[in-house]
Amino acid sequence: MTAWASNLRPQVTTSCLVLGAVGVSLGLSVRMLMSQNSTKKPIIIPSPRATHLPQLPKEETSSLPYPPDALPGARDVETPYGIIKVFEWGPEDGEKVLLLHGISTPCLSLGILGEALVEKGYRVMLFDFFGRGYSDTPTDIPFDIRLYSTQIFLALASSKLPWTGDNGFHMIGYSLGGGIAVSFARYYSHMIRSLVLVASAGLIRSEHVSRRSRILYSEGLLPERLLRWLIRRRITPQPATTTSEAKLASEVVAATSNSEQSTQKHHKNSDASGGDSFDNAVLSPHRPNSTVSSVMAWQVQHQQGFLTAFMSSIRHAPIYEQRDDWLKLGQLLAARRKTSSPGADEGAGAEPLPGLLGGKVLLILGSTDPVIVKEELIHDATSVLGEDGFKAVVMDGGHEIVMTKGKEVAGLAAGFWLSS
């Protein structure tokens, strides 16, 4: 559980006062929801692959904002946790790159980046996290680093090519995927040839979590069925509107905070407050209708496990205040720099450690990103990774830079790999 969630219980009295304004209406809602006939929760919720696609003719399937063959090398991987949608393509002899997407949009959001890397000669793999896109949703396990690590290994094992082993693959994590990548690297550093973090979660300060979000994503404070009902109302498209990814981003980090005035400037008319730059970002150059908002609207409507995955990820995934994992990564990076530096331990027979080549990670940040504030992340990364543990590049744009500037991100990553 995240730090802010674990500290919620002592504040129950204050939080309940905030909810008092709901009054009789809330009480009736609780009674109505709790009086419904309870049904046994399924262990695995099937994805739209099983619930939505069979109802559509072929021409409608191909015109979806996110069709199942949107990217090359598609495959459905059966696992004990449900089916995973995986895409893998590129030259088989190229260096391998694993891409991890964000909390809400499926892996299609990294399609432009993936295609750009393949053009540069890399072998690329993407997959939908459980409960997103075309991957099923396990309901009997929290969406924490244990589940996400397991899913990474299941996706890698499904390839006909060897991905694991020393220096097996580069890893690029975006937003939530960045937080997952750092926590994964803590335990499996030898496999990760290099680490690139784009607008990465993991060190988001808990002060940015609004009181409303603390209540909505709590556990045990309100009935779970009521919380699900309230959250579903917040993210379900209304008539003549689309679902805003920025609206969901505001669930992860509050747009209004006690940040400095310069940071508040970023929040005005920006992604977290419903600006067009994020929601209108195109996820596929071949499909102009595949915007963030259109894919989100389709997913919220047809991915029955999305709400479960989203809520559990906010509660348990490595998003907020993950200093221990980042500190451990900093130590691993320092050890690589020590053994790879010229003249290190001469005569002692020390060999460079596998993984995290060069002893640095690359941070790519958006100059106006209101979700991952560049000044805060650079400051906090310095305290846990050390000044020599990372290279930071700031690009013009907000939280959508991995989509709107995928080719540029690919160029930065490739240049970083060549210099490591």
Residue 143 covered by a domain? yes
Half-sphere exposure in the Cβ direction for 1 (13 Å, CA) = 12
Half-sphere exposure in the Cβ direction for 51 (13 Å, CA) = 17
Q: How many domains does the chain have?
A: 1
Please list the pLDDT of the chain residue by residue as tens digits (420 residues): 665 555 444 343 334 433 443 443 444 444 444 444 445 668 999 999 999 999 999 889 999 999 999 999 999 999 999 999 999 999 999 999 999 999 999 999 999 999 999 999 999 999 999 999 999 999 999 999 999 999 999 999 999 999 999 999 999 999 999 999 999 999 999 999 999 999 999 999 988 888 888 888 888 888 988 988 888 887 766 655 556 676 677 778 764 444 443 444 443 333 233 345 788 898 887 888 899 989 988 999 999 999 999 999 999 999 999 999 999 999 999 999 998 766 555 445 568 899 999 999 999 999 999 899 999 999 999 999 999 999 999 999 999 999 999 999 999 999 999 998
Residue 249 covered by a domain? yes
- For residues 103 and 175, the answer to whether their CB atoms sit within 8 Å is yes
Residue 238 covered by a domain? yes
Tell me what pLDDT residue 5 has. 57
Tell me what pLDDT residue 322 has. 96
Residue 110 covered by a domain? yes
Q: Which domain holds residue 218?
A: 42-340+352-419
Residue 297 covered by a domain? yes
Helix axes 306-316, 224-235, angle to 10 degrees: 110
- Here the CATH number for the domain that contains residue 409 is 3.40.50.1820
Task: State percent of the chain over pLDDT 90.
Answer: 63
Measuring CA to CA, which residue among 168, 132, 164 is closest to residue 148? 132
Q: Which residue has the tokens 């290099």?
A: 194
Residue 333 covered by a domain? yes
Tell me what pLDDT residue 173 has. 98
Residue 407 covered by a domain? yes
Residue 244 covered by a domain? yes
